[in-house]
Amino acid sequence: MGGSREGKALLIHLLVQNMNIIERLYNAGLTYKRDMGFRHRRRLSQRVVSVGNITLGGTGKTPAVIAIAQEALRRGLRPCVLTRGYRGKNRGPCLVSKGNGPLLNVAEAGDEPVLMAYRLPNVEIVKGPDRYVAARLSEGADVFILDDGFQHFGLYRDVDVVLVDGLKGFGNGRLFPLGPLREPLEQLRRADVIVTTRQDNTGGGSIQTLCSQAGVKCPEDITLEVYNAAHRPSSLRSTDGRSIPLSAITGSAVFAFCGIGNPDAFGRTLQSTGAVVAGLMAFPDHHRYTASDLKKIIKKSDDTQWIITTEKDIIKIGQYPLAERILCLSVDFDIDRRFYKRVFEYE
């Protein structure tokens, strides 16, 4: 038995060593990509606002991009969102929306670009891996919003906004694949503005606190421009587009499902409406639903009156007959107005 325990300990030690090697290789490849991107960085003639993160998983980028685009419209600007369009099969640059709804479906463009096309009338949405090339498809935008842009090194930006999830923070402080970090935390120094999101669910937490929770030292010389943001439930919507007040689910037992990067955050936001969440079924991020999935959801929901999902998920299930009982929770990005002053007003 003793030998068996020693053998297991040795195996674990070797696995950890190998994973550390993988982590170092990942960082070396990322460093090369970053250096090459900066070396060949191109600049658009219009203002570029990047919204990104330093961790894998959901930090609330899509609500933030939508809010920034809406604020641009309020200021009389013509915004265009540049997005990679994760899992969209159209690989080259393409227009997702000219400002009057989606021109492509979820399979072609990806779920987040289509969601933004629905939520952002009068805003162009352009998909493409090379955001500089994608920007050429815009018809007269005077500000570009770079969706998930912190690791898109090849395009100059005037403002780099980095979102940090106030619930998950930096996890264990390790790089992928040992942890959730897409880059070493020291790269937060590149950020002009840091926003800690989901503060409505956490009660507030500084970057220093989140670093401490991850067991890592907080990087020196990071920006002092740190804002707290909340994700506020605003309304409910059916698969056919009907708007339903939040009061419809207050005090009611509901069943929830989602395929997003942070399902726990969705559950907490749903609870904040006063609904009683009887259960939550989590699918992988960007999940493509099948009729079988919907049947499982209906079965799990038991006798609850409502089934609630996210805006990103509901656009992928409307074609299924079983979707008539399902509502989505619309969420707004709520932040101090000084944040928009920093984003849009030139220094």
What's 214's domain CATH number? 3.40.50
- SS3 of 63, please? helix
Alpha carbon dihedral 80, 83, 89, 93, in 10-degree steps, equals: 50
Averaged pLDDT for residues 221-238: 93
Residue 249 lies in a domain: yes
Residue 163 and residue 273 in one domain: no
Whether residue 97 sits in one domain with residue 205 = yes
The answer on 157 and 129 residing in a single domain is yes
Residue 341, both tokens = 């002053």
pLDDT value at position 194? 97
Q: What is the pLDDT of residues 319-330, one digit of tens each?
A: 777 677 799 999
Which residue, among 117, 64, 61, 107, has the nearest Cα to 86 in the 3D structure? Answer: 107
In this structure, the answer to whether residues 180 and 87 fall within a common structural domain is: yes
Can you give the residue range of the structural domain that contains 216?
47-231+334-344
312 in the same domain as 171: no
42 found inside a domain: no
Asked if residue 58 and residue 194 are part of one domain, the reply reads: yes
Q: Same structural domain for residues 260 and 141?
A: no
Q: 3-class SS at 159?
A: strand
Q: What confidence tens digit (pLDDT) does each residue in 53-98 have?
A: 999 988 889 999 999 999 999 999 999 999 998 777 888 899 999 9
- 248 shares a domain with 130: no
- Do 157 and 106 lie in a common domain? yes
Question: pLDDT digit string (tens) for 157-206?
Answer: 999 999 999 888 999 999 998 899 999 999 999 999 999 998 765 555 68
pLDDT of amino acid 13: 59
According to the model, what pLDDT value does residue 204 have?
55
pLDDT, residue 1, reads 43
Query: Which three-class secondary structure state does DSSP give residue 46?
Result: coil
Q: Would you state the pLDDT for residue 2?
A: 46
Number of independent structural domains in the chain = 2
Q: C-alpha angle with apex 86: 83 to 63, nearest 5 degrees?
A: 60
Q: What is the pLDDT confidence band of residue 147, given thresholds at 50, 70 and 90?
A: very high
Q: How confident is the model at residue 287 (pLDDT cuts 50, 70, 90)?
A: very high
Q: What percent of the chain has pLDDT over 70?
A: 93
> Which tokens hold the place of 143?
């500000």
In this structure, is the dihedral angle defined by the CA atoms of residues 53, 191, 69 and 166, taken in order, positive or negative? positive
> Quick check: is 163 in a domain?
yes
pLDDT exceeds cutoff 90 at 22: no
Whether 188 and 318 share a structural domain: no
Asked if residue 311 and residue 278 are part of one domain, the reply reads yes
My answer on whether 267 and 150 are in the same domain is no
pLDDT band for position 16 (50/70/90)?
Answer: low
> What was the pLDDT predicted at 202?
54
Query: Does a structural domain hold residue 28?
Result: no
Strand stretches in 187-322, DSSP E: 193-197, 226-238, 243-244, 253-258, 276-282, 306-310
pLDDT of residue 167: 84
Q: Classify residue 321 by its DSSP letter.
A: G
**Dihedral sign (CA 268, 269, 275, 280):** negative
Asked whether residue 185 is assigned to any structural domain, the reply reads yes
- Helix H or strand E encompassing 69: helix 61-74
**How far is 25 from 6, CA to CA, in rounded Å?**
29
Quote the tokens at residue 186.
């020291």
40-54, 133-147, 277-291, 293-307: which range is least confident on average? Answer: 293-307
- pTM for the model: 0.90
Angstrom CA distances, 263 to 121, 153, 191, 195, 216, stand at 27, 29, 26, 20, 25
